[in-house]
């Protein structure tokens, strides 16, 4: 029996029942990687010897009657997480030999839950692209079309899942880095509420792994089913034991509803700053149709939605400030000079991004205050709705494009070119206010490419979009393996 595309939940049940051993699951996954990953290049750091050791230990633990939520399950880890004894580079050539001495808190958690880690998955340079390529490990391709990107920055993890290289992966998201690869590769991902999941050890080299708070950035689960997202989130969630974990325990509220027909959902398929491709709009409409058929309350417009144009502007400003905070002084001064030369009437997202990169503390505080106004608006919206359905990006996976920087590229939307950065508006819808968002597949485009949507929920009510994802998976189907 082939296990490579089975859900982690199924693998766990079979493992507990003695139908399969962890060694068998691990050897099958390794064989598939060795056979198929030459074309995909998803697993950039292989750790097969340690995986085999962990699999044998899992089988011995089961024989002793021990258990764990991920016991014996083969998984992968995004390259940006520290793993003791393995390189962490974030794609930066100068750190190709950097090897941390301590596991990231999430790596430690999945190990404690019994997971068998096959290796690390590829990323773009500094995690700053919707593609996954770098000088050290090369280019990761989309399993559905090798001429296209799997997305970024968690593209290696999404491509690995779509290819059957492990049942789960842990990754991260600040600009759609969980959701976009899931959308491009036809898998599931969950961007948790900001602060729900400890992030220590997901840090660029050679920075120390301090338990600091991160603005916008989260770490979260990727899987091939919605239920597996919840399984992995339950392992990952909770405060850092070095800080808030000293005083607080995790107590996520249950999903607001258990039946599809009971949900109240706002459906969005248009953004004032960027068009939506026909393929993505069809995916959104398929979800909307399934909700209507189930008897859910579905609306397309509401005055309660915080202004999406201002939201996108705040998002790129805060994102720019976040990313530029660790730039070398020389580069930062170049950015300041460039920003000072902008005309006042240059108000596009690329210009706002640049201005955000050189924010003063006063500028950032004012932007953060406006963010709090948006969060208040979302609280009011979620008093009337349970979730929001929207695109993740404007298009399905696009062809590899390594010629220009992110700020200089264009994105083709139904034959018309638009600024590449403008598509971040959809990712920022949930990221800027810190809301949870679950990416789900909705089917294939006419060209045979996966299309997904995001289900955005109320802060710290992550189980609501996750449950909605499960119900929609039952209604419209879910993951399909590339042919």
pLDDT one-digit tens code per residue, 447-479: 999 999 999 999 999 999 999 999 999 999 999
Predicted confidence at residue 344, as pLDDT, reads 81
State whether 157 and 271 are in the same domain.
no
d(CA 342, CA 350): 11
SS3 398: coil
Q: Which of 29, 173, 179, 171 is nearest to 107 (CA)?
A: 171
State whether 359 and 451 are in the same domain.
yes
From the candidates 4, 22, 78, 80, which is the catalytic residue?
78
Pick from 213, 243, 273: which residue ends a domain?
A: 243
Q: Are 74 and 25 in contact (CB under 8 A)?
A: yes
Chain CA centroid to CA 131, Å: 13
pTM over 0.85: yes
State whether 202 and 156 are in the same domain.
yes
Query: Left if phi > 0, otherwise alpha if psi is -120 to 50, otherwise beta: which for 85?
Result: left
CATH of the domain at 459: 3.90.1300.10
d(CA 107, CA 129): 24
Predicted confidence at residue 350, as pLDDT, reads 86
State whether 299 and 207 are in the same domain.
no
Predicted confidence at residue 1, as pLDDT, reads 64
From the candidates 132, 153, 157, 163, which is the catalytic residue?
153
Q: Identify whether 153 is a catalytic site residue.
A: yes
Pick from 243, 269, 290: which residue ends a domain?
A: 243
d(CA 246, CA 241): 6
Predicted confidence at residue 326, as pLDDT, reads 80
State whether 223 and 310 are in the same domain.
no
Structural domain range at position 201: 8-243
d(CA 286, CA 283): 5
State whether 394 and 279 are in the same domain.
yes
Predicted confidence at residue 345, as pLDDT, reads 80
From the candidates 163, 177, 277, 351, which is the catalytic residue?
177
Low-confidence ranges of the chain (pLDDT < 70): 1
State whether 140 and 236 are in the same domain.
yes
State whether 293 and 193 are in the same domain.
no
Residue 381 covered by a domain:
yes
Q: Identify whether 177 is a catalytic site residue.
A: yes
d(CA 469, CA 455): 7
Q: Report the alpha-carbon angle 438-389-261, nearest 5.
A: 95
Collect all residues with Cβ–Cβ distance below 8 Å to 74 and sequence separation of at least 6: 22, 25, 26, 29, 51, 55, 115, 116, 118, 166, 167
């Amino acid at each position: 029996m082939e296990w490579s595309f089975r859900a982690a939940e199924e693998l766990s049940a079979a493992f507990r029942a003695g139908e399969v051993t962890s060694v068998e699951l691990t050897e099958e996954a390794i064989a598939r990687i060795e056979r198929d990953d030459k074309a995909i290049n998803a697993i950039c750091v292989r750790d097969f010897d340690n995986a085999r050791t962990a699999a044998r230990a899992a089988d011995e633990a089961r024989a002793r009657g021990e258990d764990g939520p991920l016991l014996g399950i083969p998984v992968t880890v995004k390259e940006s997480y520290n793993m003791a004894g393995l390189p962490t580079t974030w794609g930066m050539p100068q750190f190709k030999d950097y090897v941390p001495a301590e596991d990231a808190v999430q790596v430690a958690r999945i190990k404690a839950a019994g997971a068998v880690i096959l290796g690390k998955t590829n990323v773009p340079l500094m995690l700053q692209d919707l593609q996954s390529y770098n000088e050290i490990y090369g280019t990761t391709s989309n399993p559905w079309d090798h001429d296209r990107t799997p997305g970024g920055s968690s593209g290696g993890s999404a491509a690995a899942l779509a290819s059957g290289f492990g049942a789960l992966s842990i990754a991260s998201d600040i600009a759609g880095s969980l959701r976009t690869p899931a959308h491009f590769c036809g898998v599931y991902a969950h961007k948790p509420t900001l602060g729900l999941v400890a992030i220590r050890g997901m840090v660029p080299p050679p920075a120390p792994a301090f338990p600091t708070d991160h603005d916008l950035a989260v770490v979260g689960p990727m899987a091939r089913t919605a239920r597996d997202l919840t399984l992995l989130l339950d392992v990952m969630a909770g405060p850092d034991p070095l800080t808030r974990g000293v005083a607080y325990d995790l107590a996520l509220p249950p999903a607001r509803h258990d039946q599809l027909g009971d949900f109240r959902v706002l459906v969005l398929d248009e953004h004032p700053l960027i068009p939506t491709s026909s393929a993505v709009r069809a995916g959104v409409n398929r979800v909307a149709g399934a909700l209507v058929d189930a008897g859910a309350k579905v609306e397309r417009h509401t005055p309660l939605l915080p202004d999406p144009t201002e939201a996108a502007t705040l998002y790129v400003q805060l994102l720019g400030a976040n990313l530029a905070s660790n730039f070398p002084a020389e580069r930062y001064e170049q950015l300041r000079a460039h920003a000072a030369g902008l005309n006042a009437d240059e108000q596009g997202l690329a210009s706002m991004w640049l201005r955000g990169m050189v924010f003063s503390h006063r500028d950032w505080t004012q932007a953060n205050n406006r963010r709090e106004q948006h969060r208040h608006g979302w609280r009011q919206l979620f008093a009337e709705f349970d979730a929001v359905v929207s695109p993740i990006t404007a298009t399905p996976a696009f062809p590899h494009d390594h010629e220009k920087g992110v700020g200089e590229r264009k994105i083709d939307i139904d034959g018309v070119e638009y600024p590449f950065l403008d598509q971040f508006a959809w990712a920022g819808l949930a990221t800027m206010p810190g809301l949870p968002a679950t990416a789900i597949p909705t089917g294939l485009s006419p060209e045979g490419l996966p299309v997904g949507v995001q289900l955005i929920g109320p802060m710290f009510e992550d189980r609501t979009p996750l449950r909605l994802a499960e119900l929609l998976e039952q209604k419209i189907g879910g993951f399909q393996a590339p042919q």
